[in-house]
Amino acid sequence: MRQIRQTLRLHFEAGLSYAQVARAIPAAKATVGKIILLARAAGVDWALAQRLSDEELEARLYRPPVARSSRHLEPDYARIHQELKRPGVTLQLLWEEYQRAHALAGEPAYKYTSFCVKYAAWAASLKRSMRQTHPAGERLFVDYAGQTLRIIDAASGEIRPAQIFVAVLGASNYTYACATAKQTAADWVGALVAALEFIGGVPRLVVPDQTRALIARPDRYEPTPNRLVEEFCGHYSTVVLPARPAHPRDKPKAEVGVQVVERWILARLRHRRLFSLAEANAAIAELLIELNARPFKKLPGCRASAFASLDRPALRPLPATRMVIARFERVRVNIDYHFELDRHYYSVPHRLVHAQLDVRVTETTVEAFLGQQRVACHTYSRLQGRHTTLPEHMPASHRAHLEWTPAKLIAWGEGIGPKCGALVRWQMENRPHPEQGYRACLGLKRLARQFGQQRLEAACARALAIRSPTYRSVASILAAGLDRQPASTEAPAQSSLPLHENVRGPEYYH
């Protein structure tokens, strides 16, 4: 007040300018100008100011503001808050609609600035988790609750905890929950699939934590999802956008949704005896209907009505088929071009020996990938210790060994001639196992290509004559050209030793 009186005295009595008064007090020139303008508007000069008390002078200069007309009708802020969640709806658009509605009724309406200020003040009174505005159909927030449900094994009486998955749509707060055995990647994705089927559509974004079950390489800025999550995103044409580590405000709907599920569902089931996950999920589904139908406290309607009007029309349709949940394993190919999975062995192309592969496993198939390229596909087998081998994965020599059976080899030898057929039959019948004679017969095939079928038949006849029906004997006869010499007609002299393939007659040494 002392500053006001000095300003009035120096200006009105001493005749100083605004700048001179400001330097003399001292004060800002704008402050001096404001005081003098208020005094002139109130008709107060220095002579009158001397007769007025401080309270009277202040009342003359600073008159109370004129109250706004009480005829201004307040907007429906709760409806505005809900409408802002629709795609493309802005405060400007809602204010224009508010103005038109009041103009038609002949009632005064707030200007745009007052409209925005009043709505912001109303929104600030809501809970912190509701301050964010999420467009309809955009985000599905997911998380696992800290509390669990007790599942009793009916046979053994053992009690096992069931994990509770929670999903909340951002715009409507429509909530889904289910019980899973664990929190593995398959449990996460299976629960996500069930949540999408529950809401009947696909949001644009799914917001989880950066749990290692979903995120292969967690990172604040560029988290990398695992292969199963990539399959989920590709199948449902959506994006998984993990929240930053230690930032619960990135997914406030999930935090509040977990709390609501724990209070309104798990608390009611705490004394109920549940004997399977299916029974637990049936009990949760019954309480979900009641939860989503509970009225909001500060907003119109309930979760179900908000979902029907906001999120459901904005969701993308579900794909025609349900996603098949797979698991992925990292394996190394052994020297026999097979990898082990669940104690069964599956083949891959032999060039991939010692390579590391990613294996996609479902209930019916096993697929092996080198990077993004699929290199093998098998039917899943539960036979432990057995092998599943495709012929095209084998080297050429192994494949030939596999394809030739004793009957085929004997038929091939008889096609060359009776002597060759007899020699092949001897290989099949006089070995401990027929497969031991396969390599010798494959050698005979090579000799047929090298020397011709006629010479091979003659060499086999000579080998049988000297009682040495082996591949090595036939190869030696052909190399020495003995197949072109006439065979002796004399019978070999019988010695005291029994006839054997390693006992040669005199004809062998001619």
The pLDDT tens digits for 64-93 are 654 444 456 778 888 888 888 776 678 888
pLDDT at 69 (0 to 100) = 47
Query: What are the tokens at 276?
Result: 């399977």
> Does pLDDT of 418 surpass 90?
yes
> Does pLDDT of 417 surpass 90?
yes
Nearest Cα neighbor of 209 from 136, 147, 148, 145 is 145
Domain limits, the chain: 2-61, 77-125, 139-314, 327-395, 404-509
Mean predicted confidence (pLDDT) in 205-226: 87
Taken in order 144, 148, 152, 156, is the CA torsion positive or negative? positive
Q: How many CB atoms lie within 10 A of CB 382?
A: 8
> What is the β-pairing status of strands 365-370 and 373-379?
antiparallel
pLDDT digits (tens, 9 = 90+) for 329-355: 999 999 888 999 999 999 999 899 999
pLDDT at 64 (0 to 100) = 65
Report helix angle 438-451 to 471-480, nearest 10.
Answer: 20
Which range, 151-160, 211-220, 307-316, is most confident?
307-316
- pLDDT band of 504, cuts 50, 70, 90: low
pLDDT at 249 (0 to 100) = 64
Kindly state the percentage of the chain with pLDDT values over 90.
Answer: 37
Rounded CA separation 262/268 (Å): 9
- pLDDT band of 11, cuts 50, 70, 90: confident
Query: What are the tokens at 252?
Result: 């406030």
The DSSP secondary-structure symbol of 263 reads I
- pLDDT band of 491, cuts 50, 70, 90: very low
pLDDT at 129 (0 to 100) = 43
> Does pLDDT of 182 surpass 90?
yes
Which range, 137-141, 254-258, 375-379, is most confident?
375-379
Total residue length of the chain: 510
Mean predicted confidence (pLDDT) in 54-59: 82
> Does pLDDT of 291 surpass 70?
yes
pLDDT at 490 (0 to 100) = 47
More confident residue, 433 or 455: 455
Q: Give the global pTM.
A: 0.57
Rounded CA separation 148/161 (Å): 6
Mean pLDDT of the chain: 84
Which range, 279-288, 425-434, 487-496, is most confident?
279-288
Helix (H, G, I), strand (E, B) or coil at 456: helix
pLDDT at 203 (0 to 100) = 94
> Does pLDDT of 459 surpass 90?
yes
Helix (H, G, I), strand (E, B) or coil at 14: coil
pLDDT at 181 (0 to 100) = 93
Task: With beta carbons less than 8 A apart as the criterion, state whether 315 and 203 touch.
Answer: yes
- pLDDT band of 124, cuts 50, 70, 90: confident
Mean predicted confidence (pLDDT) in 24-39: 84
Which residues 6+ apart lie within 8 Å of 245 measured at CB? 210, 218, 220
pLDDT at 71 (0 to 100) = 56
Mean predicted confidence (pLDDT) in 15-21: 83
Query: What are the tokens at 465?
Result: 């004559």
Question: May I ask the CATH architecture of the domain 139-314?
Answer: 2-Layer Sandwich (3.30)
pLDDT at 457 (0 to 100) = 92
Taken in order 58, 59, 63, 69, is the CA torsion positive or negative? positive
Which range, 43-47, 124-128, 477-481, 496-500, is most confident?
477-481
β-sheet bridge partners, residue 340: 345
Strands (E), 27-69: none
Mean predicted confidence (pLDDT) in 390-412: 77
Which range, 28-42, 146-160, 165-179, is most confident?
165-179
Report helix angle 453-465 to 418-429, nearest 10.
Answer: 60
- pLDDT band of 316, cuts 50, 70, 90: very high
pLDDT at 409 (0 to 100) = 86
- pLDDT band of 40, cuts 50, 70, 90: confident
pLDDT digits (tens, 9 = 90+) for 276-287: 999 999 999 999
Query: What are the tokens at 78?
Result: 């709760």
